[in-house]
Amino acid sequence: MGELRITEGANELRLVSQGEAVDGYVEVRAEVRSAWFRVELVDELACDEVADLADALRALHSAGAGAHVFLARENWIELTFAMSKQGQLAVTARLQWEPDYLNEVKLVLHLDQSYVPTIAAELDSLLASE
């Protein structure tokens, strides 16, 4: 099982694969946590979109500044990575759940952009059992 973990103080985003990929999809448990709340959802991500996100983050890191928005095909998770030229990285995670996707939770983490290669490698680990 692979895992992506991004932490800033008491705030944390975790994505944990729940087994091997089946038919091009991997089941993922997503968790956002702060000092005040914890929300956990389990849904699927397409393997190609996870790989594309990891590649996009590597390109973003090489560029040194910019942003990338990831929205899962099933619309249950959105991740935004915004890098400034001053070396800062803001990661915004938004989780929504069925049946109508009207309920959502949003968490923003502020990090140094030097974490981007680690984040990309951890995304790769979600597919390692593929």
CATH number for the segment(s) 3-126:
2.30.31
Q: Is the pLDDT of residue 4 over 80?
A: yes
Quote the CA–CA distance of 80 and 72 in Å, as a whole number. 12
Q: Is the pLDDT of residue 121 over 60?
A: yes
Q: What is the phi/psi pair of residue 116, to 5°? A: -60, -45
Residue 103 pLDDT: 86
Q: What is the pTM of this model?
A: 0.92
Q: Is the pLDDT of residue 130 over 50?
A: no
How many whole angstroms from its chain centre is CA 65?
A: 18
Q: What percent of the chain has pLDDT over 90?
A: 86
Select the more confidently predicted residue: 99 or 56: 56
Question: Across residues 117-123, what is the average pLDDT?
Answer: 96
Q: Which 3 state secondary structure label does DSSP give 98? A: coil
